[in-house]
Amino acid sequence: MNGIGRGYAGKFLEVDLSREKISELKFDEDTLRKYVGGRGLAVKILWDRLGSKWDEIDPLGPENILTILTGPLTGYYPGGRVCVSGKSPQSNGIVGSTVGGEFGIELKCSGWDGIIVTGRASSPVYIFIKDDKVEIRDASHIWGLDGKQTIKVLTKELRNELQSKYPRYGSWREPAILYIGPAGENRCRIAAVMAKWTHAAGYGGYGAVMGSKNLKAIAVKGTGPLPEVHNPIKTYLLMHEVYKACIKRDNMRRWGTGSAGYYVGYALSSEPVRNWQEEWHNEKSFGVDAFERRVWIKRYWGDFGCPTTCLKIAIVRSGPYAGAITDNPDYELQAYLGTNLGIFTPEENVYVASVIDDLGLCGINAGNVLGFAAELYQRGILTKEDLDGIDLKWGNAKAFAELARKIALREGIGDILAEGTFRAAIKIGEMKGADVMKYAVQVKGIAVGAHGIRSGLDYPTPIAYACSVQGGDHTSVARLPLSSHGSEVIRILLDSAVICIFNYFSEPSLFWKMYEAVTGWHETPETWSSENGLRILNIQRAALLLGGPDFTWNPKIHDDNPPRFYEPLPSGPHAGKQVDKTEVEKLKKEYYEAVGWDENGIPKSEILRKLGLESVDKVLDKVRKKFESKS
Amino acid sequence: MEVKSGIWIMRDYAKCSGCRLCEVMCSLYHEGKIWPEASRIRVFMLIPGVEFPHFCTQCEDYPCVNACPVKALSVDEETGAVIVDREKCTACGMCIEACPGKIPHIHPKDNYAVICDLCGGDPQCVKICQLGGWKALWIVPRSRVEKHCKLYARTPEEVAKELAINMYGKFGEELI
């Protein structure tokens, strides 16, 4: 019952911050079978509670719900992640945003499958979970602290507390902590929910949601075992197979995604360079060998149970950026806080990434809006005066770091840029009386991941972002066939199970076997993508189309690429290539058909009823009527 | 007490990736399930990036064994490991007090002290650490290292602080 014996602890924690009420929640097996956990279950919870009035819900109001959910495979299939969700202040839809670390493991070991946070605390608080004991506590002493300080203070005080409450236990280990930095506190729509200094649930803007609830952090220490699984022997044998498959991946282990900062630009012509004005570069100063020689001090770093350990730790020891510490940076941040800002040295890249981490900003969304602002500066649309004297020239690392700080604190122009590229483009456009949306490289309020589609050599297809239910999110892209490993519907299961995509790709077939060994439920890419996965996708689509309250998407306009992708690539071996609009329209049509959407991109009644989503169908009438009257 | 042969797990903290697969393997072997808090080897992360495994060093004078008021602790003559008799152990915590590194801890569910038993001479933590190529742990004959073993019995706080400064230099001091 309630998933017990299938990889679930069997209960969820609900914390109502307005009423300071803590309660327990259970889901029946049918719900878990269909929605699994993580992203899928978040979609179910959000829709059930907010669906009928979705367009009126302010993502930053107390009526929004923040979910932090594990899945049945968390802790079993490496590596440990949790999925953060809610109504997104970026897309106004639902984004499943996963983050690595030990939080999910500690949570399950404390007997909880997930946390649902509602309401808003009247003053800053944090939540501390020690097994079945849950407390809402004052956080005024850590409000305002950056990431590194937040972890330092909370680790110290919570260990001291455990040590004095249970003195005979021996040495207490640190609890796992999810937290927000100043960016989340100030409700920047591009703020992330953070873990371990550098780990971020970035897409979706849930740092702002946490901040809007006055929730600075959640810390958890669980002393129990991971929950029981359906077939333990098979699970443990498969775990070994996964380890072996992961350990074989020399490239991924040795360099993580940190070799891509050079490679994706040089070899694939799909890396953002100076706000996507180019996607090719041949800057050998940005080669992975340079990162390794100059800044990496730990070659293999990983989260609980991960045999790949693709992360690395980097520090700048001397020079103007001395003291900057971050991870690799990984590819996305090498691109977005490196090449996209015209930065091509490891030291400057590590420096900007460490500033972004400490502020609790999403590196992708922040790098996107910083690049956008720099292009406006390049074109003379934003002036030094607009930027409070910051000389936002390409490659000026100090200037980008200073602007990031202003964003996190919502100072001056930072207050506008904190809204994210899409909303900033509207405001700056009005301010300057110019069309600046053409420089905004985003889809449905979400920055496009650092994988361009113009060269046709990288994995995203021409409709990858345009038709995704998570906008620009490069980890969840629209792709046919729906049962392919890279399709959004399959990614929904990975984010619901909740596991790491990179480890999935070590040997995908092992995941499906492990899913059955842990849960006892049989799924294949084909069954998942034709029923349970498709159901979750369609609810996400419905929420995205309902949107609101500040903005609602029109698929005819917004199921599309950023204008920049229709400009020809100006440089590199693939110069001249661009996305073909006719091809996009053709693929869109095929995709709509495959997922059951009508010619306006709205889920059809027929598919919704087939999937048992009558309530979604009913609410979507609102959207259908709107488009009928328009056309 | 004299240990006839024995092994020792050599450790290189700088190479620890923080993956905690040693805990997974240890708890599977001893508890039949994945149970990080019941693991005989525990990875501490008092500062991110500064992960290190914390587990018994088999001091040559075995202060924990000597401190046990109910003689629940003994030394395995073959391996040199400290063996806990769960029936006798009262979880009084005297062994933890006596340990210079505060290494043992009380089992999170049952009433006895948890101490590395070297898996009877075939430590699971070492196997996975070697398989994964991190090589933070490996096996050496105890006879070669005996006089150095006890040096590694340090508290997590001591180890974390020194490793942080080693890794992050003067910036490490601000992170503790």
A303 and A200 share one domain: no
One domain, residues A75 and A214: yes
B-chain residues near A148 (CB < 8 A): 175
A202 and A262: one domain?
A: no
Query: Which among B49, B155, B156 has CB closest to A313?
Result: B49
Q: Which positions in chain B touch A152 (Cβ < 8 Å)?
A: 47, 175-176
pLDDT tens for each residue of A101-156: 999 999 999 999 999 999 999 999 999 999 999 999 999 999 999 999 999 999 99
Residues of A in contact with B168 (CB under 8 A): 297, 315, 325
Inside any domain, residue A107: yes
Residues near A621 by beta carbon (within 8 Å), at least 6 away in sequence = none
Closest chain B residue to A109 measured between Cα atoms? B35
CA distance A587 to A214: 43
Name chain A contacts of B15, Cβ cutoff 8 Å.
300
Interface contact flag, B132 A243, Cβ < 8 Å: yes
- Inter-residue contact A116 to A102 (CB < 8 Å): no
Q: Are residues A258 and A370 in the same domain?
A: yes
A328 backbone dihedrals φ, ψ, rounded to 5°: -35, -55
Q: Which of these three, A181, A202, A221, is where a domain ends? A: A221
Our CA-based measurement puts residue A226 at a distance from the nearest CA of chain B, in whole angstroms, of: 6
CATH of the domain at A310: 1.10.569.10
A519-568 pLDDT per residue, tens = 999 999 999 999 999 999 999 999 999 999 999 999 999 999 999 999 99
Nearest chain B residue (CA) to A231: B33
Contact in structure between A328 and A353 (CB atoms under 8 Å): no
Cβ contact B169–A155 (<8 Å): no
Contacts of A198 in chain B (CB under 8 A): 48
Residue B147 structural domain: 7-173
B85 in a structural domain: yes
* From B38, B128, B167, residue closest to A225, measured CB to CB: B38
**Residue A47 is assigned to a structural domain of this protein:** yes
- Quick: pLDDT tens for B71-120: 999 999 999 999 999 999 999 999 999 999 999 999 999 999 999 999 99
Asked whether residue A214 falls in the same domain as residue A258, the answer is: no
- The CATH number linked to B54 is 3.30.70.20
Least CB–CB distance from B33: residue in A155, A226, A247: A226
Q: Which residues of A touch B163 (CB under 8 A)?
A: none
Query: Nearest-CA residue of chain A relative to B39?
Result: A225
Residue B123 contacts A, CB cutoff 8 Å: no
Residues A256, A348, single domain; the answer is: yes
Domain-located, residue A196: yes
What are A93's strand-pairing partners? none
Beta carbons of B48 and A152 less than 8 Å apart: no
Assess whether A255 and A203 both reside in one domain: no
For residue B69, being part of any structural domain is answered with yes
Q: How far is A90 from chain B (nearest CA, A)?
A: 29
Mutation for testing the B interface, residue in A251, A300, A327 having most B CBs under 10 Å: A300
What residues have CB less than 8 Å from A619, skipping those under 6 apart?
A: A51, A52, A54, A542, A546
Closest residue in chain B to residue A232, using alpha carbons only: B33
Q: Is residue B141 part of a domain?
A: yes
Residue A68 sits in a domain whose CATH number is 3.60.9.10
Instruction: Work out the minimum CA distance from A532 to partner chain B, whole angstroms.
Output: 29
> Is residue A173 located within the same domain as residue A302?
no
Note the pLDDT of residue B4: 60
Asked if the model's pLDDT at residue B2 lies above 80, the reply is no
Q: Does B44 touch chain A (CB under 8 A)?
A: yes
- For residue A583, the distance in angstroms to the closest alpha carbon of chain B comes to 44
Query: What's the rounded Cα separation, in Å, for the pair B31 and B29?
Result: 6
Residue A20 shares a structural domain with residue A139: yes
| A8: β partners | A4
DSSP H or E run through A136: strand A133-138
Q: H-helix or E-strand containing A158?
A: helix A147-165
Q: Is residue B48 part of a domain?
A: yes
Residue A123 DSSP symbol? S
Residue A7 and residue A74: Cα distance in Å, rounded? 8
**Is A475 a domain residue?**
no
Q: How many domains is chain A built from?
A: 2
Pairwise CA distance, residues A418 & A228, whole Å: 44
The closest CB to that of A247, out of B133, B156, B176, belongs to B133
What pLDDT sits at residue B3? Answer: 61
A168, B93: Cβ pair inside 8 Å? Answer: yes
Overall domain count for chain B: 1
Q: Is residue A312 part of a domain?
A: yes
- Predicted local confidence at residue A1, as pLDDT: 75
Q: Is B110 a member of any domain?
A: yes
Identify the burial level of A31 via C-beta atoms within 10 angstroms of its C-beta, where 0-12 means exposed, 13-18 middle and 19 or more buried: middle
Residues A179 and A325 in one domain: no
Type of residue numbered A60 = L
**Chain B nearest-CA residue for A158:** B46
Residues of B in contact with A313 (CB under 8 A): 49, 167
Domain around A336: 249-426
pLDDT at A629: 62
Could you tell me the pTM of the whole model?
A: 0.98
Q: Same domain for A108 and A186?
A: yes
Domain final residue, candidates A409, A426, A443: A426
Q: Report chain A (631 residues): mean pLDDT per 10 consecutive residues.
A: 95 98 98 98 98 98 98 94 98 98 98 98 98 98 98 98 96 98 98 98 98 98 98 98 97 96 97 98 97 97 97 97 97 98 98 98 98 98 98 98 98 98 98 97 98 97 98 98 97 98 96 98 98 98 98 96 98 98 98 97 98 97 83 51
Q: Cα separation of A577 and A572, whole Å?
A: 10
Instruction: Mark which of A426, A447, A470 sits at the end of a domain.
Output: A426
Minimal C-alpha gap between A92 and chain B (Å): 33
Can you read off the two tokens belonging to residue A434? Answer: 């110019």
* CB-CB under 8 Å, A155 with B49: no
Residue B1 maps to a domain: no
Q: Do the beta carbons of residue A428 and residue A437 sit within 8 Å?
A: no
SS3 A368: helix
- Closest Cβ–Cβ partner in B20, B44, B103 for A304: B20
Best mutation site among A298, A354, A502, A518 for testing chain B: the one with the most B CBs within 10 Å? A298
How many Å separate Cα A268 from the centre of its chain?
A: 24
**B176 contact A CB<8A:** yes
**Same-domain status, A115 and A43:** yes
Give the per-residue pLDDT at B176: 84
8 Å CB contact between A490 and A498:
no
Which residues from A are below 8 Å from B91, CB to CB?
168
| Chain A residues close to B54, C-beta within 8 Å | 171
Q: How far apart are CA A468 and CA A601, in angstroms?
A: 12
d(CA A119, CA A569): 47
Contacts with A, B 63-122, CB within 8 Å: 91-93, 96, 102-106, 108-109, 113
Size of interface A-B (CB pairs under 8 A): 135
Closest-CA distance of chain B to residue A36, Å: 21
The confidence score (pLDDT) of residue A296 equals 97
Please give the radius of gyration of chain A, using alpha carbons only, rounded to the nearest integer.
23
Q: Are residues B48 and A75, on separate chains, in Cβ contact within 8 Å? A: no
Beta carbons of A216 and A126 less than 8 angstroms apart: yes
Q: Measured between CA atoms, how close is B47 to chain A, in angstroms?
A: 7
CB A96 within 8 A of CB A476: yes
